[in-house]
Amino acid sequence: VKREKGFRWIGAVHEYLEVYGNILETDIAVTHRKHHKTAAPPSDRNLKIYEKMVEGNQTLTPRDLFYFANELKDHKQYNRAITYYHHFLATKQCWIEDEIRTCQYLSDCYRALGHEEAALHSLLKSFLFDQPRPEFCCRLGDYFKEKQKYREGAFWYELALSAKRSDSGFTQVEYSTWYPHLQLCVCYWQLGDKDTAKQHNDFAASFHPTHPSVLFNKNIFAEQSE
C-alpha cells in the first residue's frame, strides 16, 4: 500500500486498513499464520492493551468488543469472554460473519465451563443470522453423537453436506467434506446400517485418504467382509 495514498490503519488491536477509490476484486489469496514446532501460549500483548483501555474508561467499538472477547477466550477467561461477546452482539452493529463466529465462540466458552445446554443454544442462535453453516451442523451432530443419539446426529451431519458455505473466506472446508462423512460412518454403524457406514467412510477417504480413522475403519470393513 503506497503511503502517498494517505490510507489509515484503524483500531488499537487487529487494525484494518481503511481504503477507498477504484476497488478491484481478485482471486489472490493471502495466508497469514505463525509456524511453531510446538504450540506456543497465546501472547498477552493484545489483552493488556484492551485491559488498559477498559481501565482508562475508553469506549470500545463493537469491533473492539469482539476482539477483546476473543483475547479473553484464548486466555481461558471464559466468564468474562461470555460477557463481552454478549455486549458485542447487543450493539447490533456487527458484521454478520463476526456475529456467526461469536455464536461458535460462545458455545466453546460455555462448553469449557461445563454448561452444555447453553453451548447448544449458542450454536442454534447462529441460525438467526443466516442459513445453517456446515461448521455448526457438524458441531450439533457432535453434540448428539456424544450423547449416543446417532439418528439425530446423522441428521445434522447429512445437513452439513448440503448446507451453505460461507463465501467470506472463513470457511473450514473439512466440515462440508470428509468430517461429516467420517462421523456418518460412525452413526450408521451404531444404527446397524453397515453398508451405508462403509459408503460414508469411502466418501471420507476420497477427501482425506490418510486420516487415521478412515484407515482404521477400512480395516474393520475388510475384516467384516472376510
What pLDDT, in 10s, does the model give residues 106-119?
A: 999 999 999 999 99
Task: Look at residue 15 in the predicted model and tell me its pLDDT.
Answer: 78
Give the CATH number for residue 52: 1.25.40
Residue at which a domain ends, from 130, 165, 199? 130
Number of structural domains in the chain:
2
Residue with cell 446423522: 154
Q: pTM value?
A: 0.81
Q: What is the 3-state secondary structure (H, E, C) of 103-133?
A: HHHHHHHHHHCCCHHHHHHHHHHHHHCCCCC
Looking up residue 210, the CATH number of its domain turns out to be 1.25.40.10
Q: Is residue 2 part of a domain?
A: no
Same domain assignment for residues 157 and 199: yes
| Host domain of residue 73 | 43-130
Query: Is pLDDT of 37 > 70?
Result: no
114 with 150, same domain: the answer is no
Short-list 226, 170, 173, 218, CA closest to 197:
218
Among 130, 153, 186, residue at a domain's last position: 130
Residue that finishes a domain, picked among 80, 102, 130: 130
- Same domain for 146 and 203, yes or no, is yes
Computed over every residue of the chain, the mean pLDDT equals 91
Query: Alpha carbon of 107 to those of 6, 19, 144, 171: distances in Å?
Result: 41, 34, 15, 18
Would the CA dihedral through 179, 181, 186, 190 be positive or negative?
positive
Domain annotation covers residue 38: no
C-alpha–C-alpha distance, residues 13 and 67, integer Å: 8
18 or 101, greater pLDDT? 101
Contacts of 100 (CB under 8 A, 6+ apart): 126, 129, 130, 133, 166
Percentage of the chain lying above the pLDDT 90 cut: 68
Does residue 17 fall inside a structural domain?
Answer: no
